[in-house]
Amino acid sequence: MLIGRKREQKILETCVNSNKSELIAVYGRRRVGKTFLVKQYFKDTFDFYFTGSLNKTKRDMLMLFSEQLNHYSNSHYDIPDNWHDALNQLKDYVLTLKQDKIVIFIDEISWIDTPNSAFLSDFEYFWNSWASSYGKIKLIICASATSWIIDNFFADKGGLHNRVTRSIGVMPFTLAETEEFFKSKNVKFNRLDIAQCYMAMGGVPFYLDMVDPRLGLTQNIDKLFFEESGELRREFDMLYRSLFNNYELYVKIIECISQKNKGLTRKEITDLLHLKKGGNLTQALRELENCGFIRRYNAFGKVERGALYQVTDFYSLFYLKYCKNRKENDPQFFSKLNGSPQLNAWLGYSFEILCLQHVEQIKRAIGIGGVITNVCSWNTLPNAELGIDGAQIDLVIDRADNTINLCEMKFSKSKYAITKKYFDQLNEREEIFRQSTKTNKSLHTTLVTTLGVKQNMYSSVVQNEVILDDLFVE
């Protein structure tokens, strides 16, 4: 059953129904459901389907290609010596087909482009010299290595420049899609449980499909992460190894950035990892961002040079915090964390990341879905000259209608009660923000909580209230 993906299906429908050849690039992180989307949409009725395989040689890949071509053509093509000959064989087969639309799906295309294989240049010639002008071809390429797609098809300055007719970035499920997915699997979690599950493994369908409907939330997390045979206990290295060459560097970067909640600047990463100046870090950060593992953002009023990098992949964050380098082997580890300060700290931080990934839902909840905004963070150091203390706000929504929402995110398993101390902190933070930024805009304190704000003598400090249910709106 295909959950959500309405925008992606609409793009595929438009391309299939066009009267020209289409080169459609589908990309997204490993396990996000790219192949499932394409196969489900076309119900596996391809005129030709081939998938790359990790760590295969050129010869192995050509042999597999030949097997697929013989299967679909019901013919006997010899194993080609190179990709130029292989794609010519594909052309010969396609010319025998009489239908108006010919659907070709090449999956994990980046794994086909092995060193010295010349696959990319031969593919370029195949598309430019014939397939693009044939008029019937609907050629879908797919890769988990998002940066490979971007570098070789979107940013390429050679023969593949501007050749992709449509691109489909497949993102992890939203909370709403996760809820729909769980309903289809008869997983009966309430929204608080769904949110906590999401904060452990993200909206990655492959991971969510591992949830056992017979077990509760904490039992499932123990089973997947902390039992000796837990699938997600073994996933981390394979995830990064399958996406990146020199994957050890990428893991080191993720581990480094994850140690600081608000993220690190490029210089801080370089210093902490003792890296030499050069392009390796630039490329690694760009690829991690393209694959959705980190985000790059600027603080309010700061220029690009001061950009911060923050880990936003829930699975990586949870694994690094609780699983990596664990010496004790306790299969009920997560269940025993219940109510502990350690767990509460994780819930608080992960809820902030959850909110940052559902900013559009927050904007709609406070009635500014149609307003042009700039979403950023803000922090300032103590300034004795101005007489202000240091402060930080993780989500600032700077609006074109002369208003700024200063958002606070609080995870709680009951209605959140604003205390006198927190009331004073919010008022002080608002004043520090105004003084340090010198803004003349109206400032609205916005509180995003799981179950809402408990009404008391201090709750009037909040101008806008957003609850977890609002984040489930599609």
Domain 358-471 matching CATH 1.10.1270.20: the answer reads: no
Which of 260-299 are b and which e, b meaning 16 or more Cβ less than 10 Å from the residue's Cβ? ebebbebeebbebeebeeeeebebbbbbbbbbbbbbebeb
Q: Where in the chain is the domain with CATH 3.40.50.300?
A: 6-169
The pLDDT of 184-203, averaged and rounded, is 97
In single-letter form, the type of residue at position 150 comes to I
Reported confidence tier of residue 377, pLDDT bands at 50, 70, 90: confident
How far is the C-alpha of 218 from the C-alpha of 214, rounded, in Å? 12
Q: Where are the alpha helices (DSSP H) in 74-138?
A: 83-94, 109-112, 119-126, 132-134
Per-residue confidence band for 242, with pLDDT thresholds at 50, 70 and 90: confident
| Residue of 410 and 163 predicted with greater confidence | 410
Q: What is the pLDDT of residue 278?
A: 67
Residue 448 β-bridge partners: 409, 466
Residue 302 has pLDDT above 70, yes or no: no
Q: Mean pLDDT across the stretch 78-88?
A: 97
pLDDT digits (tens, 9 = 90+) for 414-445: 999 999 999 999 999 999 999 889 999 999 99
Whether the pLDDT of residue 29 is over 90: the answer is no
Listed range (47-61, 274-288, 407-421) with the worst mean pLDDT: 274-288
Q: What is the CATH number of domain 6-169?
A: 3.40.50.300
Phi and psi, residue 27, nearest 5°: -140, 165
Burial bucket for residue 358 (CB in 10 Å: 0-12, 13-18, 19+): buried
Decide: 194 and 358 in contact? Cβ < 8 Å.
no
Structure tokens given for 174: 């939203």
Of 58-62, 328-332, 336-340, the one with minimum mean pLDDT is: 328-332
pLDDT (average), residues 41-45: 92
Residue 333: which of 200, 186, 474 has the closest Cα?
A: 200
Question: Is pTM beyond 0.95 here?
Answer: no
CB 196 within 8 A of CB 173: no
Distances (CA, A) of 96 to 89, 90, 469: 11, 10, 54
From residue 45, alpha-carbon distances to 19, 101, 116 in Å are 20, 12, 33
Sheet with 264-265: strands ordered across: 264-265, 308-311, 294-297
Which pLDDT value is given to residue 144?
A: 82
Q: What is the pLDDT of residues 379-418, one digit of tens each?
A: 887 766 656 677 889 899 999 999 999 999 999 999 999 9
Q: Measured at the alpha carbon of residue 473, what is the angle toward residues 468 and 474, in degrees to the nearest 5?
A: 140
Q: What is the pLDDT of residue 381?
A: 76
Rounded to whole angstroms, how far apart are CA atoms 78 and 69? 10
Burial zone of 386 (CB within 10 Å; 0-12 exposed, 13-18 middle, 19+ buried): exposed
Please list the residue range(s) of the chain that carry CATH number 3.40.1350.10: 358-471
Label the pairing between strands 442-449 and 464-466.
parallel
The total of other beta-carbon atoms located within 10 Å of residue 119's CB is 22
- Residue 153: pLDDT band by 50, 70, 90 thresholds? confident
H-assigned helices in 17-104: 34-42, 58-73, 83-94
Give residue for tokens 């690009």.
304
Of 138, 103, 166, 159, which is closest to residue 20 (Cα–Cα)? 138
Predicted confidence band of residue 304 (pLDDT cuts 50, 70, 90): low
Q: Tell me, what amino acid is at 276?
A: K
Q: Which of 411, 434, 397, 413 is nearest to 426 (CA)?
A: 434
pLDDT bin (cut points 50, 70, 90) of residue 305 is low
CA gap 86, 89 in Å, rounded: 5
Q: What angle do CA 416, 422, 425 make, to 5 degrees?
A: 145
| Phi, psi for 302 (deg, rounded to 5) | -95, 155
Structure tokens at 55: 């760590």
Distances in whole angstroms, Cα of residue 274 to Cα of each of 271, 278, 304? 5, 12, 23
- CA 80 – CA 62 distance, rounded (Å): 7
Summarize pLDDT for 132-147 with one digit per residue, the tens. Answer: 999 999 999 998 877 7
Residue 162: its pLDDT value, please?
A: 79
Chain length of the chain: 474
Place of tokens 């056992």: 212
Sheet holding 22-27, edge to edge: 48-51, 102-107, 137-143, 22-27, 166-169
